[in-house]
Amino acid sequence: GAGVSQSPSNKVTEKGKDVELRCDPISGHTALYWYRQSLGQGLEFLIYFQGNSAPDKSGLPSDRFSAERTGGSVSTLTIQRTQQEDSAVYLCASSLGPTETQYFGPGTRLLVL
Amino acid sequence: GESVGLHLPTLSVQEGDNSIINCAYSNSASDYFIWYKQESGKGPQFIIDIRSNMDKRQGQRVTVLLNKTVKHLSLQIAATQPGDSAVYFCAENPHNAGNMLTFGGGTRLMVKP
């Protein structure tokens, strides 16, 4: 079946602009996660959605970062007033439930000039 | 598998040999561990997982070993193939801190034909 999809695959923006990144999880998966991967680094947790519960935002690095998940499916990660240090690959994952295996999408490569 | 920024630890093996990739995890409360494979330009791909009530689990050509006493995880790949060349990440799921994954820094596996 279809895996996790993300769009756009690449995004180049200017410092100070806002960006929106989209994630379509695997159908039926109730849990959705956003991670960030800087060049040559491991993955850093950003935010977690489970069903209709309040999201776990403990990994968001600043208040410029926010995310929504509409209808328990698609999620959008928004970065306001982008900075050069925001340049990274933003990865989305979903799992059938909160303790199940997380499957990752291909990521969105963000470059802030 | 400690994080060393841009300079990932690298394991170079001959095609057909067995590979062993090691990882030290940090949280003694973690009860679920996963190995992911990440090829250049792609998202992490699930390989194998293990729960803390086991010390060994086998898949197709891969085996994961868990030593909770020393908080050590290893991934063994039998008869390594060129297609196994990638960066391998271990991840732990410390449920006492939420359902997000905490990733190690990664190990680059290079398979020489």
Rounded mean pLDDT, B101-107: 90
Tell me the CA end-to-end span of chain A in Å, nearest whole number: 37
Give dist(CA A40, CA A49) in Å, integer.
Answer: 26
Pairing mode of beta strands A65-69, A75-79: antiparallel
**A105–B3: do the CB atoms touch at under 8 Å?**
no
Q: Please return the burial class of B21, using the count of CB atoms within 10 Å of its CB with bins 0-12, 13-18 and 19+.
A: buried
pLDDT-derived band at B8, boundaries 50, 70, 90: confident
Q: Which of A9-18, A46-55, B53-62, B98-107 has the lowest mean pLDDT?
A: B98-107
% of chain A residues with pLDDT over 90: 83
Q: Which of B6, B34, B101 sits opposite A40 (nearest CB)?
A: B6
**Chain A residues inside the 8 Å CB shell of B91:** 43
Q: Which of B34, B100, B104 sits opposite A33 (nearest CB)?
A: B100
Q: Which tokens in the block code for residue A52?
A: 């209709």
**B99–A59: do the CB atoms touch at under 8 Å?**
no
Q: Residue B3: is its pLDDT beyond 50? A: no
What is the pLDDT at residue B29? 84
Q: Residue B2: is its pLDDT beyond 50? A: no
**A107–B42: do the CB atoms touch at under 8 Å?**
yes
**A56–B99: do the CB atoms touch at under 8 Å?**
yes
- Give the closest-approach CA distance of A102 to chain B in angstroms: 8
Search chain A and give the residue with CA nearest B93.
Answer: A99
Q: Is A99 on the interface with B (CB under 8 A)?
A: yes
What is the pLDDT at residue A27? 93
Cis peptide before A8 (omega within 30 of 0): yes
Q: Which residue reads 């698609």 in tokens?
A: A74
pLDDT-derived band at A1, boundaries 50, 70, 90: low
**B100–A43: do the CB atoms touch at under 8 Å?**
no
Give dist(CA B95, CA B101) in Å, integer.
Answer: 9
- Give the closest-approach CA distance of B45 to chain A in angstroms: 7
**B99–A98: do the CB atoms touch at under 8 Å?**
yes
Nearest to A89 by CA among A66, A68, A67, A106: A106
Residue-wise burial string across A73-85, b where 16 or more C-beta atoms lie within 10 A, e elsewhere: eebebebeebeee
